[in-house]
Amino acid sequence: MGGAHSHRACTVPSEAWTRSDGKNYSDVDVAIAIDHLTLAAASLGLGTHWVAAFDTGAAREVLGIPGDAEPVAFTPLGYPADRPQEKQRKEVSELVPLASTGDSR
Ligand SMILES: Cc1cc2nc3c(=O)[nH]c(=O)nc-3n(C[C@H](O)[C@H](O)[C@H](O)COP(=O)(O)O)c2cc1C
């Protein structure tokens, strides 16, 4: 990717919405935010890449992320240096079998 910037998505779990059963939605919020960012980027011809496999301690240190914020994901954002080949994608029905079978489980 030529001249890419990196964006980080952090969450502050103590400030996120929590469901009545105790489920904290901070990670879900981050996933929604990154998903919107990557879709918007793609619509503008920009490339991104979900990155979750990183050292959170190193990320905190290098980026100065405060203790109450949790780094969840990163993505580079820039114009792709090359154009990848067309990808072989699974059919939606393979990924979401319940929707295609009408199974009401
Ligand atoms: C939640 C999540 C985390 C990911 N973390 C990484 C990562 O740390 N490193 C990596 O190389 N790819 C990671 N990926 C995979 C890529 O970002 C990307 O989804 C994959 O290359 C497929 O890209 P495509 O959908 O454009 O084919 C992650 C994907 C998801 C959904």
84 Cα nearest atom in ligand 1: 26
Question: Contact, 9 vs 30, CB < 8 A?
Answer: yes
Give 16's pLDDT tier (boundaries 50, 70, 90). Answer: very high
For the chain, the average pLDDT equals 87
Name which residue sits closest to atom 26 of ligand 1, judged by CA: 49
pLDDT tens per residue, range 23-47: 999 999 999 999 999 999 999 999 9
How many domains does the chain fold into? 1
**Does ligand 1 come within 6 angstroms of the Cβ of 95?**
no
**Does ligand 1 come within 6 angstroms of the Cβ of 49?**
yes
Domain that holds residue 86: 2-101
**Does ligand 1 come within 6 angstroms of the Cβ of 51?**
yes
| CATH number, residue 23 | 3.40.109.10
Question: Contact, 8 vs 52, CB < 8 A?
Answer: no
pTM: 0.77
- pLDDT, residue 87, reads 87
Pocket residue to mutate for ligand 1, from 1, 28, 50, 85, most atoms within 8 A of Cβ = 50
- pLDDT, residue 11, reads 83
Which segment of 5-9, 38-42, 76-80 scores lowest on mean pLDDT? 5-9
